[in-house]
Chains A and B, each alone.
Chain A
Amino acid sequence: QVQLVQSGAEVKKPGASVRVSCKTSGYTFTSYYLHWVRQAPGQGLEWMGLINPSSGDTFLSRKFQGGVTITRDTSTSTVHLELRSLRSDDTAVYYCSREGGTPGTPLRWFDPWGQGTLVTVSS
């Protein structure tokens, strides 16, 4: 079955960087876009960006441009999310999710999701 398994929790100091990984299995890695969504404690969901694993092309929400990079490794079917210059308000659970629906169209949804990675930013 389709699985997205994320790397473990991280604790970082303000100004540091962190990389969160999402290893996929159970399907053809290059056939589906992958997205990153975060959820601050007690808050709603916030879409960060996506990657086309086939081409490596990414699209980031304007809010995260400059501070976030999404990459993929086709040899391990893994996508990575790098966050730089961390601040306390970056403390959140970060989820990867595979896109369902029709690629290249607005008919898309997020399913399944990784188990989430808690990133805590604290001095």
Chain B
Amino acid sequence: DIQMTQSPSSLSASVGDRVTITCRASQSVNTYLNWYQQKPGKVPEVLIYSASSLQSGVPSRFSGSGSGTDFTLTISSLQPEDFATYHCQQSYKTPFTFGQGTKLE
């Protein structure tokens, strides 16, 4: 199975900060990497698919980059509603594994 490792596991930031979260795959997943946001008690929602494509309706302050094994999710200017947990997920090979999550607080 492909292991997905996110760093950091938690991150303290303030409104207006630029935030970067990293996701590393144990083997290449090409660009088949998705990012989800999950607010407490809520359902995950896709932000970015295929490493860098912004899902419709997602604010442009979110961006993704990377290919192969190393990926990043960047929030250019943190807003109050962005405090949540972020999950990366590879869709290259089954099982479609997720990272352990990064809690932004």
**A-to-B contact residues, CB < 8 Å:** 35, 37, 44-47, 59, 61-63, 95, 100-101, 106-116
Q: Tell me what chain B mostly uses at the interface: helix, strand, loop, or mixed.
A: loop
Stretch at the interface among B19-27, B65-73, B96-104: B96-104
Q: Tell me what chain A mostly uses at the interface: helix, strand, loop, or mixed.
A: strand
Which residues from chain A contact B95 at a C-beta distance below 8 Å? Answer: 47, 61-63
- Docked CA distance A108–B101 (Å): 19
Give the nearest-CB partner of A114 in chain B.
B43
Identify which of residues 60-85 in chain B touch chain A, using a CB-to-CB cut-off of 8 Å. Answer: none
Q: Is the CB of A116 within 8 A of B43?
A: yes
What is the interface size of chain B, counting residues whose CB is below 8 A from a CB of the partner?
Answer: 25
Q: Is the CB of A45 within 8 A of B49?
A: no
Q: Is the CB of B34 within 8 A of A109?
A: yes
Give the nearest-CB partner of A48 in chain B.
B95
Known interface pairs A44-B87, A47-B96. Does A110 touch B43 (Cβ–Cβ under 8 Å)? Answer: no
Q: Is the CB of A111 within 8 A of B46?
A: yes
Known interface pairs A61-B94, A109-B46, A113-B44. Does A44 touch B30 (Cβ–Cβ under 8 Å)? Answer: no
Q: Is the CB of A100 within 8 A of B49?
A: yes
